[in-house]
Amino acid sequence: MRATATFLAIVAVLATVACSTNPVTGKSQLDLLGEFQEMALGAQLYPAYIQDSLGAIADEALQGLVARTGEAVARVGHRPTLPYAFAAVNEPAVNAFALPGGKICITRGLLARLESEDGLAAVLGHEVGHVTARHAVAAYSRRVLATALLLGGAAVMEAKDVQGRELITLGAVVGAQLGLAHYSREQERQSDRLGLEYSVAAGYSPLGLVETHRVLLELQKSQPGLLARLFASHPMSSERLAAAEAAAEALPADVRGREKRVESYIRVVQPLRAVRPAWDLAHEGRVLLAQGKKREGAELLGRAVQQAPEEGVIRTLHAVALQQLQRPQTARSEAMEGARRAPGVFLSRLVAGSLWVSEDARASLEQLEAAEQILPGVAQVSYLRGRANETLGRRDAAVAAYREALARDPQGEVGQAAVARLKAMGEA
Ligand SMILES: [Zn+2]
């Protein structure tokens, strides 16, 4: 993510087609990524995917539970020595996904709906199954070039010049998210089997997988909009629920009879459950914004803020909606509130840095520095630093920042906007 050069290196590696052994099947498999490249690619993409999912949830107890549960199922799997990582992210839609090399995310929307640690173990075991069976590698080998282009270019976030002022409309906000692997039905079935095997071996109840499928099927009836992304990458069916029930039924009585860990789980996810209605509204609002329904989207986001004023990321999404409605003053104060309450979230820092760039360049620079720390290498951050430095009359710093923006996004809109500024300053 840091530089295009890294991606060119990955692309060069991809040009050498490697043959490797699949850890689950033991069969030799022709794919484009060797294990070392797989781990390097996953590690490199992970921070961007976490931030594209609205950042990690600032809750140590919750992150601890997710990491412990994930490690427990991964260590009894077919690739126990991979450098796994598990993150709970702010995305309100229901989803979980694995990047190559064992980097896994589970969303707030799913965590708030599961009912036990055993359900969590089943979900994480399923994702670990995609990793051990190297499904993601096959999928990402096909997709990696597109993803590399996405990250290197302006597609993560799109800069637009509206009425002579740079307004950042965020692809990440309005749903143009980073690509995820798409799995076949057979791969889904295999991951369900592996997830069950791993979670049972780690001491969990086999009913965790049954619980997960039941929760998802019920949600499909009541709030299908929350599942759109999950279904895009994970084909679902009531057949998988039936398969989970049959597989649990086939296990020995002492395994079947294991108690699910319900109370300890509920205690940890209680804060998420308390704000779930607000996040559901925020999700709907974001979908409306993506459809160009600015007023309706802003209204739902405003209601979400009223319900959960302490949720910084929702404040940030509200700020974006207000800015789109041409209400810059309220948008600015909401953006600052978002950054104050969600200091570790790239989007919150970027939106604050963007909306304050003409108003208070020093405050803007502070936010942009924080954004750069959280997710280095994003062209928009460099470009906005250029704007802020120009406002402050720091010509050399502005030129350097625009050159950096161009280096980070040589083909895209942000790079072109940087070239325009450099020309205006007589530097290009
Ligand atoms: Zn899956």
For 149-169, how does the pLDDT look when each residue is reduced to its tens digit (9 = 90+)?
344 333 333 333 332 233 333
Tokens of 237: 């069916």
Contact 131, 35 (CB under 8 A): no
Tokens representing 57?
Answer: 């949830």
- Ligand 1 centre and the CA of 183: distance in Å? 7
Q: How many residues belong to the chain?
A: 428
pLDDT band at 285 (very low <50, low <70, confident <90, very high): very high
Q: What is the pLDDT of residue 21?
A: 63
CA of 25 to the centre of ligand 1 (A): 18
With beta carbons less than 8 A apart as the criterion, state whether 375 and 398 touch. no
Q: If you compute the radius of gyration of the chain from its CA atoms, what whole number of angstroms results?
A: 22
The pair of three-digit structure tokens given for residue 128, joined into one six-digit string: 């670990």
* Helix axis angle, 294-307 to 312-324, nearest 10°: 150
Maximum CA extent, the chain: 78
pLDDT for res 259 = 96
Interval between CA 126 and ligand 1 midpoint (Å): 6
76 vs 232, which has greater pLDDT? Answer: 76
pLDDT at 165: 32
- Strands 103-107 and 85-89 come out as parallel
Lowest pLDDT segment from 223-227, 316-320, 369-373: 223-227
- pLDDT of the residue at 173: 33
Tokens of 340: 């104050």
Q: How far is the CA of 227 from the centre of ligand 1 (A)?
A: 13
User: Ligand 1 center to residue 28 CA distance, Å?
Assistant: 22
What separation in Å is there between the alpha carbon of 135 and the centre of ligand 1? Answer: 9
* CB neighbours of residue 382 within 10 Å: 24
- Is 400's pLDDT higher than 50? yes
Where residue 291 falls among pLDDT bands split at 50, 70, 90?
confident
Residue 44: band (very low, low, confident or very high) from pLDDT cuts 50, 70, 90? confident
Average pLDDT across the chain, whole number: 84
- Bridge partners of residue 96, in order along the sequence: 106
Per DSSP, the residues of 341-409 read H-TT-HHHHHHHHHHTTTT-HHHHHHHHHHHHHHSTT-HHHHHHHHHHHHHTT-HHHHHHHHHHHHHH-
Residue 285's nearest CA partner among 57, 88, 93 is 93
Please say whether the beta carbons of 192 and 200 come within 8 A: no
> Element (H or E) spanning 263, and its range?
helix 263-274
CA 344 – ligand 1 centroid, Å: 29
For 54, 186, 330, the CA distances from 141, given in Å and listed in that order, are: 25, 19, 45
Ligand 1 centre to CA of 78 (Å) is 17
pLDDT band at 362 (very low <50, low <70, confident <90, very high): very high
The three-class DSSP label of residue 89 is strand
Residue 183 scores a pLDDT above 90: no
C-alpha 362 to ligand 1 mean position (Å)? 45
As a whole-number percent, the residues of the chain with pLDDT over 90 amount to: 61
Kindly tell me if the per-residue pLDDT of 214 is higher than 70: yes
Report the pLDDT value the prediction gives residue 169, as an integer from 0 to 100.
38
Better-scored residue on pLDDT, 113 or 14: 113
Q: How many A from CA of 257 to the centre of ligand 1?
A: 26
pLDDT at site 311? 98
d(CA 124, CA 53): 17
Q: How far is the CA of 208 from the centre of ligand 1 (A)?
A: 15
The pTM of this model reads 0.86
Question: What is the CA(191)–ligand 1 centre distance, in A?
Answer: 6
Residue 186 CA to ligand 1 center (angstroms) comes to 10
**Are the beta carbons of 163 and 51 closer than 8 angstroms?**
no
Structure confidence at residue 234 (pLDDT): 63
Residue spans of alpha helices (H) in 53-184? 60-75, 108-111, 117-132, 135-152, 171-174
By C-alpha distance, which of 401, 408, 409 is closest to 427? 401
Which position has the higher pLDDT, 161 or 224? Answer: 224
Looking at residue 14, its pLDDT comes to 39
The dihedral region occupied by 54, where left means phi > 0, alpha psi between -120 and 50, and beta the remainder, is left
